Chain A
Amino acid sequence: MIAAGDSVTSTGEAVQFWILAVVATGGALATVLMRKAVHSALSLAGTMIVLAVFYLANGAYFLGIVQIVVYTGAIMMLFLFVVMLVGVSAADSLRETIRGQRWLAALCGLGFGILLVAGIANASLHHFDGLGQANSGGNVEGLAALVFTKYVFAFEITGALLITAAVGAMVLTHRERIRRAATQKELSRQRVRENAHVAPLPAPGTYARHNANDIPALLPDGTPSELSVSPTLRARGQVRDVSGEALADLAALEQRSREWLERDGDEDRKGAVK
Chain B
Amino acid sequence: MSTLEIAQFKHISAIHNRDFNGLPISSTSTAVNLTGSWKFFRPKMAEKGSPCQSACPLRIPIAGYLRQLAEQNPAAALETLREINPLPAVTGRVCPHFCEAACNRLEFDEAVKIGDLERWLGDFGLDRPHRFAPAPETDLKVAVVGAGPAGLAAAVFLARRGVAVEIFERGQEAGGLLASAIPAYRLPRDILRNELDNLLSSYPAITLHCDRNIDPGELTALAKEFAAIILATGLPESIIPAAWQDNPRVIGALKLLATINRGMEIEGDRFTVVGGGNAALDAARSLLRRGKKVEIVYRRTLAEMPAYEEEKEQARAEGITIHQETVVGGLENRGENLQLTLCRAQKENGGIVAGEVLRREDCDILVVAIGQQAADGYLQAKLPETILRAGDFAHGAATVAEALASGRKAAAQVWSRLNDCPVPSETGEPLGIADFTRVHPDYFHPRPAVRPNLLPARERRAGFAEIRTGLSPAETCREAERCFSCGTCTTCGICWFFCPEVAIAIAPDAGSDNGKVLFDYDHCKGCGQCAAICPRGVIEMEEDL
Whether A and B are associated in the same complex: the answer reads no
B residues adjacent to A (C-beta < 8 A): none
